[in-house]
Amino acid sequence: MNYNWRRRDFLKKTSAASIAAMAAGAPISALLNACSPKEKIESTADTVILLYMAGGMAHTETFDPKKYTPFRKGMESKEVLSTFKAVPTVLDGVNFSEGLEKIGGVMDKGSLIRSYVAADLGHILHTRHQFHWHTCYEPPQSVAVPHMGSWMAKELGPVNPVIPPFINIGQRFTVGEGEELKAFHSAGFLGSEYGPFLIPDPSSGLDSVRPPVGMSNKRFEARNQLYENLIKESAMGEFGSDYQKESLKRSMEQAYMLLNSPEAKAFDLSQEPKEKYDIYNTGKFGLGCLMAKRLVDQGARFISVTSEYEPFVGWDTHENGHTRLKGMKKLIDAPIAQLIKDLDESGRLDRTLVVLASEFSRDMLTEGRPGAKVKDQVEVPDIIEDMKNYGMHRHFTDGCSVLMFGGGIKKGYVYGKTADERPCKSIEKPIKIAALHQTIYHALGMDPETNYEIEKRPFYTTPDGHGEAEMDLFA
């Protein structure tokens, strides 16, 4: 199989898939198992919050620390397993990396997965692995693949009909690989009404649900009509099926309904008490966590809060890994811990599944995984003389950490294990993306056989309907 995809190939293929999805008729519910009644799955969660660490969060520097090696000039790079000290969590014998003490303090309310294994997708590109993580399908595909949140929006509908069932917070599409990011921030063939309601910056989230300052309702309605006319003259209007056109129309109607609803106050972070606001206010991601908490209170179904992917920013540490991670931990530690505490205190954590994940991990030496190495994208000197080379700078796919809280998940539980010496790969209970997705769907009571007929073949939530929920993670 040829894995030598370039960004241009990826974009051309996904663009073609989008046009194909628009031209297709309504997805047909596949009744492949109508002869054998399915056992009803009792849900343990109503809502999912995905906290996505975009850019590749190193497991050995966060939730799975190894031997600490402090920086010194002239050290060998092969010595370095973790650049932060290990600190205890609330769980006996379970340590996190220094700087994540607050999240460590709430681990008695959730499970720690230390053995997620990312896919072999050839030359490692962030947006290809992010596409795979969010859709469970390897790009490119011949059809426009729905995001996980869109499957939930379609199958379960909104908890509150006024609140969009799929809300994405924190990702701009005007930076870096914006077009590639758009490829999976989509409902695909399911229709526009199940796509994400986008809030690039939570600090101005209220602007997403109200007309611009100075615009009257009458003028706004006129502009809304103009927008509908523009849609009719677009590629959607020309090539889209009746189903896709109706779906887009319904998505616009839903947005308009939210605009005029009292629930819109969930997007106004200024209504939060100052002492609580200040805890969350570490930046865009922290305020995104605060907005997620408020949206759960108002009846959201699926909320994604991302640290945002922008090449060579945030978790995408191609140099200065240790220094950069100090800053990233300050951005996430207090807000995530406070989110779990607030959901628990309000009684909503029991029915809210919170998942923290990243597309892959990082290592000092190995690009890819042992036995499936790929071309190095970062040069790491054998002898480290400069602080900029101290840290995890290469993409590593064989051992990643995932956190899960609430929604029926076990409390104070550790699943899987990675080796303590390099390569720090998964050595117990490896879990892959299809099982992770089915575990999330199972918590929501979604049948693993859920599928639609697209291009005269069934299209499942996970490829070919494979993937089973990891029941060991449930209480």
Helix (H, G, I), strand (E, B) or coil at 108: helix
pLDDT of residue 36 exceeding 80, the answer is no
Q: Residue 12 — very low, low, confident or very high, per pLDDT cuts 50/70/90?
A: low
How do beta strands 352-357 and 400-405 pair? antiparallel
- The b-or-e profile of 57-71 (16+ CB within 10 A means b, else e) is bbbbbbbbbbeeeee
Single-letter code of the amino acid located at 354: V
Condensed to tens digits (0 to 9), the pLDDT of residues 360-393 reads: 999 999 999 988 888 888 999 999 999 999 999 9
What H or E segment, with its residue span, contains residue 417? strand 417-418
**Whole-angstrom distance, CA of residue 311 vs CA of residue 221:** 39
How much is the pLDDT for 302?
Answer: 98
Condensed to tens digits (0 to 9), the pLDDT of residues 136-185 reads: 999 999 899 999 999 999 999 999 999 999 999 999 999 989 999 999 99
- The b-or-e profile of 434-451 (16+ CB within 10 A means b, else e) is bbbbbbbbbbbebebebb
Domains located in the chain, CATH noted: 7-470 (3.40.720.10)
pLDDT of residue 201 exceeding 50, the answer is yes
Q: Residue 231 — very low, low, confident or very high, per pLDDT cuts 50/70/90?
A: low
pLDDT of residue 348 exceeding 50, the answer is yes
User: Is residue 59 within 8 Å of residue 424, measured between CB atoms?
Assistant: yes
Helix (H, G, I), strand (E, B) or coil at 169: strand
Residues 6+ apart with CB under 8 A from 92: none
**Whole-angstrom distance, CA of residue 86 vs CA of residue 95:** 6
Q: What is the pTM of this model?
A: 0.87
The CA angle 135-367-312, to the nearest 5 degrees, is 70
Question: From edge to edge, which strands make up the β-sheet containing 166-169?
Answer: 197-199, 166-169, 302-306, 47-52, 352-357, 400-405, 110-116, 413-415
How much is the pLDDT for 414?
Answer: 98
How much is the pLDDT for 233?
Answer: 61
pLDDT, average across residues 398-421: 98
Single-letter code of the amino acid located at 36: S
User: Is residue 416 within 8 Å of residue 113, measured between CB atoms?
Assistant: yes
User: Is residue 425 within 8 Å of residue 418, measured between CB atoms?
Assistant: yes
Closest CA to 56 of 446, 355, 359, 467: 359
pLDDT, average across residues 343-350: 98
pLDDT, average across residues 466-472: 96
User: What does the block give as tokens for 239?
Assistant: 């090539």
| 23 vs 262 pLDDT, higher one | 262
Q: Residue 206 — very low, low, confident or very high, per pLDDT cuts 50/70/90?
A: confident
For the ranges 343-352, 368-377, 397-406, 446-455, the lowest mean pLDDT is seen at 368-377
How much is the pLDDT for 199?
Answer: 93
Helix (H, G, I), strand (E, B) or coil at 434: helix
Residues 6+ apart with CB under 8 A from 311: 126, 176, 177
How much is the pLDDT for 222?
Answer: 64
| 93 vs 2 pLDDT, higher one | 93
pLDDT of residue 19 exceeding 70, the answer is no
